[in-house]
Amino acid sequence: MADLKPDQGFIDQLKGEFDLLVIGGGITGAGILWDAVNRGLRAVLVEKGDFASGTSSRSTKLIHGGLRYLEQFEFGLVKEVGRERAILYRNCPHLVHPEKMLLPLIRGGKLNRLTASFGIWLYDRLAGVKRNERRRMLSREETLSLVPLLDPEKVMGGALYIEYRTDDARLTMEVIKSAVAHGALAMNYTEVIDLLYDGAGRVKGAHLLDKRTGESMALNAKAVVNATGPWVDFLRRMDHSLDDKRIHWTKGVHLVIDQKDFPLAHSIYFDTPDGRMVFAIPRDGKTYVGTTDTDYKGSLEEVRVESEDRDYLLRAIRHLFPSLSLAPSQVESGWAGIRPLIHEEGKGVSEISRKDEIFLSPSGLITIAGGKLTAFRKMAERTVDLVCAQLGMGKEKRCTPCRTEYLPLSGSEGGVERFEEKEKEMIRRGIEEFELTEKRARELFSRYGTNVGEIYALIRKLNQASDREEERLIEKNETNHPLPDSDVGKDEGISSDLLAELRYTWEKEFVYTPADFLIRRTGLLFFNRSLCREIFPFVSERLTEWNGWNERERRRWEEEMIKEFEWGDTLYA
Ligand code: FAD
């Protein structure tokens, strides 16, 4: 894979005219970049923060079959997401895992035995669910034995249906890496501050601001796609094309609780006292619960879990799990994201469709709005079809048909075929050759899939460097020694596998700031807050060295993490 750092050579590559500029590095923009480069387009993506720093790291992390869309009779959507889910599982097995979800049927709840049974039956057919994954209705006793914490007074029975778990930010990263490996360019910390037009008023590129250096540059492109999720209307305003069709922001919050306080062995989709439904999902020794769905009018730059969001979810937990009596201090962390929905007059937040829509402005700016993480590949196909039609108009370029349905993503090379064998082999190597615990070897594989081999190579390099240093010190009989000046670096406060992981993400996954690593690449802030806090100084020190920051720059790029810690301390203490 090419070196991804934005060095001078990289900036030079921005010269000349691109076929396509994609604005926004969430899952929507990433999917479009991946599709476009596979159709032979010269494509570039720019993201103003880190990749997936918007909604795409703040979802429920499910590849949905779309059960809840049945309520709104969106049969087409259920069918599409069901099909997309199967494709994604085939192409990205290291990040997409089938998970049985329990739907308890409770007294006074949203669903009874008949509606649940029919609804899931229909969902299984529409979403093309495999025979062995189809719904199973449960008795009251079976339901309580699966999740004994449920209130026995309320439970009348249950149903099991299939969902797929993922990691949204990692999925976005793997899509971007796949696109880059095929020749696309992608830059984080690069903001579109203005659009460029030709004499006829057609959009032909953008002015970019490099947030690391403060420099700006012009980038020319024949087609421009606005894939900025909750921000799409800002770009449409920049293009003077904002009309009555607007984005409606709703906020969704999740809380993370340790398994010792919320010992849940099975994922569950359950009723809230106000007639909604939320998920509780076990992951990495924690249980995460969400989501809320409330109108949002605040700043998009700092979307926070507020005390009322926290209290709402705690009430929902108490409603069905009264024996837990959880206090705010037992919440370890959480996240809040904004749904970029397409406004529908007169509809309540939970009734607005989750469908995507493409707007074409008079200048030719293509905006893709709404949608789901699950359907990103199909959304990209529709968008790039339109790009190709635009490019074809000038007879300048012909696109090949969309191929992404058959392309495994980075980290899942070879797709789902014989994937389990590869997984076992890589985990075995981690344990035997690199002395990792089984838990750690599994964790690395679940994040990086088959690319974990590159992390192993870095661990070997680090270990060799430290062996050489030890020999040198023994020969010289020195005890008080400086750290070795190796290519990778070494740190007394961080294990070699963690340092190798950091280095890998810095070299190959565009990590620039501590938050890129601790939030988006590893999810440590959410799922292991204490380790996150512990290693933050070391991560920051290494990145300061590798990025060549001075003290002022270090403080600036540490800020996102510090604010997260401070906010968490006020909310979860
Ligand atoms: P974003 O991820 O927000 O990306 C847009 C990017 O554009 C941002 O990173 C932003 O920094 C960048 N940007 C903005 N302005 C500029 C500019 N001027 N220049 C450069 N870059 C710019 N979907 C599912 O399928 N499954 C789920 O379980 C699920 N759960 C959800 C739970 C919640 C609480 C929420 C809020 C959503 C959920 N969704 C789920 C929906 C899904 O997360 C979103 O549809 C998806 O992440 C949107 O991705 P995006 O790329 O369109 O937007």
Q: How many CB atoms lie within 10 A of CB 53?
A: 23
Q: Give the residue whose CA is nearest to atom 24 of ligand 1.
A: 373
More confident residue, 172 or 109: 172
pLDDT at 489 over 50: no
Joined together, the tokens standing for residue 100 give 């049985």
Query: Of 257 and 79, which is predicted with more confidence?
Result: 257
R_g over Cα of the chain: 24
Using the atom order of ligand 1, give the atom closest to the CA of residue 27: 51
Name residues contacting ligand 1 (CB within 6 A). 23-29, 46-49, 53-56, 58-62, 64, 191-192, 227-231, 252, 291, 337-340, 371-374
Cα 54 to ligand 1 centre (Å):
5
Secondary structure of residue 479 in the 3-state scheme: coil
Distance CA(387)–CA(407), nearest Å, equals: 21
Which atom of ligand 1 approaches the CA of 337 most closely? 36
Task: Give the per-residue pLDDT at 7.
Answer: 52
The CA-atom distances, in angstroms, between 460 and each of 463, 499, 506 are 5, 12, 17
Query: Phi then psi for 463, rounded to 5 degrees?
Result: -65, -40
Encoded tokens for 161: 């249906």
Query: Cα of 17 to ligand 1 centre, how many Å?
Result: 28
Judge whether residue 129 has pLDDT over 60: yes
Distance 416 CA to ligand 1 centre (A): 27
With beta carbons less than 8 A apart as the criterion, state whether 338 and 55 touch: yes
- Work out the mean pLDDT of the chain and round it to a whole number: 90
Rounded to an integer, the average pLDDT of 250-264 is 96
Q: With a cut of 50, say whether residue 483 has pLDDT above it.
A: no
What does the pLDDT read at residue 92? 96
Express each pLDDT in 25-49 by its tens digit: 999 999 999 999 999 999 999 999 9
Cα of 405 to ligand 1 centre, how many Å? 22
From the CA of 125, how far away is ligand 1's center (Å)?
A: 29
**Which one of 59, 96, 194 would you pick to mutate in the ligand 1 pocket, going by the greatest count of ligand atoms within 8 A of its CB?**
59
Q: Does the pLDDT at position 475 exceed 80? A: no
> Closest ligand 1 atom, CA of 372?
45
pLDDT digits (tens, 9 = 90+) for 242-255: 988 889 999 999 99
Quote the ligand 1 centre to 339 CA distance (angstroms). Answer: 7
pLDDT (tens digit, 9 = 90+) per residue, 159-218? 999 999 999 999 999 999 999 999 999 999 999 999 999 999 999 999 999 999 999 999
- Find all residues with CB under 8 Å of 84, minimum gap 6, and list them: 63, 374, 375, 377, 378
Return contacts of 115-119, CB within 8 angstroms, 24+ apart: 116/159, 117/159, 119/67, 119/70
- What's the 378 CA to ligand 1 centre distance in angstroms? 16
Which residue's CA is the nearest one to ligand 1's atom 4? Answer: 26
Distance in Å, CA 60 to ligand 1 centroid: 12
Q: What is the CA(512)–ligand 1 centre distance, in A?
A: 20
What is the arithmetic mean of pLDDT over 74-100? 90
Residues 6+ away with beta carbon under 8 Å from 563: 302
pLDDT the model gives residue 477: 58
Tell me the mean pLDDT in the region 134-142: 93
Determine which of 63-77, 233-247, 251-265, 472-486 has the lowest per-residue pLDDT on average: 472-486
Atom of ligand 1 at shortest range from CA of 293:
34
What's the gap in Å between 301 CA and the centre of ligand 1?
13
Burial 124-143 (b: 16+ CB within 10 A, else e): bebbebeeebebebbeeeeb
Tell which one of 21, 50, 58, 60 to mutate to probe ligand 1, the residue whose CB is within 8 A of the most ligand atoms. Answer: 60
- Ligand 1: distance of its center to the CA of 336 in Å? 12
Nearest atom, ligand 1, residue 235 CA = 18
Closest of 343, 324, 555, 542 to residue 316, by C-alpha? 324
What ligand 1 atom has the least distance to the C-alpha of 238? 18
Report the alpha-carbon distance of residue 99 to residue 407 in Å, rounded. Answer: 23
Residue with tokens 């994040």: 447
* Residue with CA nearest ligand 1 atom 51: 26
pLDDT at 323 over 70: yes
Atom of ligand 1 nearest to the CA of 193: 18
